[in-house]
């Protein structure tokens, strides 16, 4: 009988140990799930913060990705989601075959001719000479006049990570009097925009642009 009582006591201890182990396992599973959920929340918060901040800042204004196809990417500020009617846009064009200064100059000249073929009025062209630590860069500023709007475009051509890009800031004004209003806008903002564009160094990286492609 004594052995039987000892036997039953051993089973009781085994049951208690099993329950204890199950509780420990349950606590560990709960902690792991809680940590996993926290990690998801952190990632979602970071993504939301990045979305609210935009892809980059130009002239103190955040720009958001709106559209990409192949090597062309378009960005506009908040409340300018409609790509049929916007006021400010920054377009980034990549040139896969452009990898040195000579090829970049050729690309800039080709864009200039394309602007002219689309009835653009050339406001300015200029180049920043090459230095030992910086390839040459180029600037084209033009105005397009259409029946219902006028658009000023400032295009900077620059090598980034060994690849040619153009960074084009455009400003549109709509209406029958858009031409006169654009002249006034250029007088007040043209030089400032040009300076900001040529000094801008916070443009998105090529790897970021690759992620935005459709």
Picking from 214, 212, 210, 211, the residue whose alpha carbon sits closest to that of residue 96 is 210
Q: Residue 24 pLDDT > 50, yes or no?
A: yes
pLDDT in tens, 132-141: 888 999 999 9
Instruction: Give the pLDDT score at 133.
Output: 86
- Neighbouring CB atoms inside 10 A of 200's CB total 17
**Which pLDDT band, with edges at 50, 70 and 90, does 3 fall under?**
very low
Residue 179: phi, psi to the nearest 5? -60, -50
Residues 93 and 198 occupy one common structural domain: yes
Q: Residue 32 pLDDT > 80, yes or no?
A: no
Residues 63 and 159 occupy one common structural domain: yes
Picking from 189, 201, 195, 211, the residue whose alpha carbon sits closest to that of residue 56 is 201
Residues 27 and 121 occupy one common structural domain: no
Residue ranges making up the domain that contains 148: 54-212
Report the CATH number at residue 182: 3.40.1000
List helix spans (H) across the chain: 2-53, 101-117, 178-199, 206-212
Residues 94 and 128 occupy one common structural domain: yes
Q: Which two tokens stand for residue 39?
A: 């990690």
Instruction: Give the pLDDT score at 51.
Output: 45
Q: Residue 37 pLDDT > 60, yes or no?
A: no
Mean pLDDT of the chain: 84
Q: What is the pTM of this model?
A: 0.75
- Name the strands in the sheet holding 88-95, side by side, starting at the edge strand that comes first in the sequence: 56-58, 61-69, 72-76, 88-95, 163-174, 149-160, 137-146, 121-128
Q: How far apart are CA 23 and CA 27, in angstroms?
A: 6
* % of the chain at pLDDT higher than 70: 74
Residues 131 and 205 occupy one common structural domain: yes
Residues 77 and 129 occupy one common structural domain: yes
Residues 49 and 64 occupy one common structural domain: no
**What is the total count of domains within the chain?**
2
Contact 122, 139 (CB under 8 A): no
Residues 68 and 169 occupy one common structural domain: yes
Residues 115 and 196 occupy one common structural domain: yes
Instruction: Give the pLDDT score at 7.
Output: 40
62 Cβ partners below 8 Å, 6+ apart?
53, 54, 56, 77, 78
First-last CA distance in the chain: 80
pLDDT in tens, 103-139: 999 999 999 999 999 999 999 999 999 998 889 999 9
Residues 17 and 103 occupy one common structural domain: no
Residues 58 and 156 occupy one common structural domain: yes
Mean predicted confidence (pLDDT) in 74-87: 96
Residues 85 and 151 occupy one common structural domain: yes
């Amino acid at each position: 009988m004594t052995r039987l009582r000892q036997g039953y006591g051993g089973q009781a201890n085994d049951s208690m140990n099993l329950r204890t182990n199950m509780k420990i396992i349950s606590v560990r599973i709960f902690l792991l799930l809680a940590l996993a959920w926290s990690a998801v929340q952190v990632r979602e918060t970071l993504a939301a913060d990045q979305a609210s901040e935009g892809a980059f800042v130009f002239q103190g204004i955040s720009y958001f990705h709106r559209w990409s196809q192949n090597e062309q990417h378009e960005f506009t500020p908040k409340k300018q989601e409609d790509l049929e009617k916007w006021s400010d846009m920054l377009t980034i064009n990549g040139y896969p075959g452009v990898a040195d200064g000579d090829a970049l100059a050729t690309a800039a000249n080709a864009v200039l001719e394309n602007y002219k073929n689309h009835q653009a009025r050339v406001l300015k062209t200029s180049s920043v000479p090459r230095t030992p630590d910086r390839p040459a860069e180029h600037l084209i500023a033009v105005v397009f006049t259409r029946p219902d709007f006028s658009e000023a475009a400032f295009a900077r051509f620059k090598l980034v990570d060994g690849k040619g890009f153009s960074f084009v800031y455009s400003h549109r004004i709509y209406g029958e009097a858009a031409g006169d209003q654009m002249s006034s806008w250029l007088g007040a903002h043209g030089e400032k925009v040009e300076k900001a564009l040529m000094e801008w160094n916070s443009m998105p990286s090529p790897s970021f642009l690759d992620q935005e492609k459709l």
